[in-house]
Structure 1
Amino acid sequence: MTASDSATLDLNGADVFFRTFGSPEHPPLVLVHGLYGDSVTVAPLAERLSDRFRVIAPDALGHGRSARPEGFTLADQGRMLNALVAALGYDAAAMVGISMGSYLTAQAAIDEHARVSRLVLVVSKAHGTTSSSVAYAKRMGFDLAAASPDELLAFMSGAIWSPDTSAQRRAEIMQQIGESTESVVLTPAEQAAVERSLAGFDLRPELHRITVPTLVISGKDDGLNPPSSGEELVRGIPDARFEVYEHSGHMLTFEETDRLVADLESFLLED
């Protein structure tokens, strides 16, 4: 990972750790990771975007080096993101959320759209009784809590990859992810707190409150949040755009990175 700055701020009574990439003179972009990830897991994408944006990548509540309270909600996460934008001195920032991160950024745009200039929801969904990973594991009879990181990755491969991504490319991606020694692994109790924060979430009644330009991106072969979930979001968000990546699953940010970076730059910098 190339050099980045990091800091911790007290936001609404909770410590929030974040990394920054790119020049402070660039327009701000808040980039939010997925379930059980942290700012390290989105660093490769942040680096790619740092030529055009000041990328701010927080560790969500319950993740990484941010506070891990026993009880928090999706609403708390949305307030945290808006407070982060304000604390850094911006009137508004673009927000890009990946998987779970997209639920958080959508919540931020629902709560305080003036803080969100543009919104991109990647491999997203509008509601769920649990996280997508837990729902998939339940369907398949797999014990997430008892699994080692390697076992978890092997199990999830059936839901996250496009058939077009070769075994060699999958191995390269997983090696890239695994090489980082900075990412923080959550304990089972901490994972349970994250799962509780997502239990039964439903953004559908409030999606009409997202009035900023919005792009929804799904992977055709995503077994966790399929294109039908993206379509549901688009139906609820006024004038939202929808793109399906034909050669991606849930690992879209790694499978079609070049296209994603180009699409993000085009959409976020559009006049």
Structure 2
Amino acid sequence: MGKYIQVEDGVKLFVQDLGEGIPVIFLHGWPSNHLMFEYQFSRLPLDGYRCIGIDFRGFGKSDAPWEGYTYDRMADDLRAVIDELQIENAVLIGFSMGGAVAIRYMARHQGHEIAQLALMGAAAPVFTKRADFDHGMDPDDVTSNLIEATYQDRPKMLGKFGLDFTHSKTKAGMMVWLESLCLQASHHGTIKAAIALRDEDLRGDLSAVTVPTVIFQGTKDKICDPDLAQLLSESITDARVVLFEHSGHAMMFDEMDKFNKELLLFLNQMAATNQIPRPASQNL
């Protein structure tokens, strides 16, 4: 069921909480919301997993304050949700910007109550090129194509952004639906979170990730450079990479069957390793 959780600065975050069993927390990408994971929320509870989706501030059904779109603030929001729901030994899943926030959470909050981590097309360790980092998008392109374009015409920006979101061009209806999710975001939240994507640097956070980690990466990703996945795997001690050869940025739509299979495999391995009982599968 859905509920609102008020965090320290008075902002109310919308949280979807479905199923029973091992908690799995989903952090969405920019500028979508938790509904982008509906094809996991409809399946995983049947296999004994509790799915928790959080709309970041400014996105989906959450409040949209003028300030608070840094990775630190979003990581603190995640901590507030975990504490309010009394979550223990969770799996944290972060897609794109959500992956970046997940890494910041692991460093800033010492991985509080997170037993396993999944990074998917993560905008990390750095989303944009730097003088000492030759990977990712050009920061000027982020400024012009995402930030300034949102100031001028947000629907047009989303239409162009969507062209690079998936590799498959056969799912036009799916792309219309995803664009509708992005339009639910606030205008200023969309802009300020894009500024965070452009400017934040997570290279100093990676050593704090000490839990078993899987990294999902589409090899045809035009938004988050596939090289970023390799850099993450080299910097996170207990990490492995799962490549999606026929996927762009959003492998959960380009290769949905493989995505769900690999995710369930990862979750089941955690359950077996930690000897956590789960309800019998109800999958049809």
User: TM-score normalised to the size of structure 2?
Assistant: 0.81
Q: CA deviation at 1:265?
A: 1.2
1:117 alignment partner AA: A
Q: CA deviation at 1:67?
A: 2.8
Matches of 1:203 and 1:92, distance apart in 2: 24
Q: CA deviation at 1:107?
A: 1.5
Matches of 2:192 and 2:26, distance apart in 1: 22
Paired position in structure 1 for 2:15: 18
Matches of 2:217 and 2:138, distance apart in 1: 16
Paired position in structure 1 for 2:282: none
Residue identity (%):
22
Post-superposition CA distance 1:139-162 (Å, at most 9, x none)? 76982332342x334322443232
Q: 1:87 to 1:103 in 2, by over 3 A?
A: same
Structure 1 stretches lacking a partner, 5+ long? none
Moved over 4 A (4+): 129-142
**Aligned pairs (5 A) from 1:1-271:** 5-13=1-9, 14-22=11-19, 24=20, 26-52=21-47, 53-72=49-68, 73-110=70-107, 111-124=109-122, 125-129=124-128, 136-138=141-143, 143-149=149-155, 151-162=156-167, 165=168, 167=169, 169-177=170-178, 184-187=184-187, 189-270=188-269, 271=273
RMSD: 2.6
Post-superposition CA distance 1:223-243 (Å, at most 9, x none)? 111210111111111121111
Given that 2:162 and 2:179 are in contact with CA atoms closer than 8 Å, whether structure 1 keeps it comes out as no
Q: 1:101 to 1:75 in 2, by over 3 A?
A: same
Matches of 1:146 and 1:235, distance apart in 2: 39
Matches of 1:195 and 1:179, distance apart in 2: 18
Given that 2:90 and 2:115 are in contact with CA atoms closer than 8 Å, whether structure 1 keeps it comes out as yes
Post-superposition CA distance 1:159-186 (Å, at most 9, x none)? 3232xx2x3x231322443577x97232
Q: Secondary structure at the match of 2:249?
A: coil
Q: Secondary structure at the match of 1:269?
A: helix
Matches of 1:198 and 1:249, distance apart in 2: 19
Given that 1:30 and 1:96 are in contact with CA atoms closer than 8 Å, whether structure 2 keeps it comes out as yes
Given that 2:118 and 2:215 are in contact with CA atoms closer than 8 Å, whether structure 1 keeps it comes out as yes
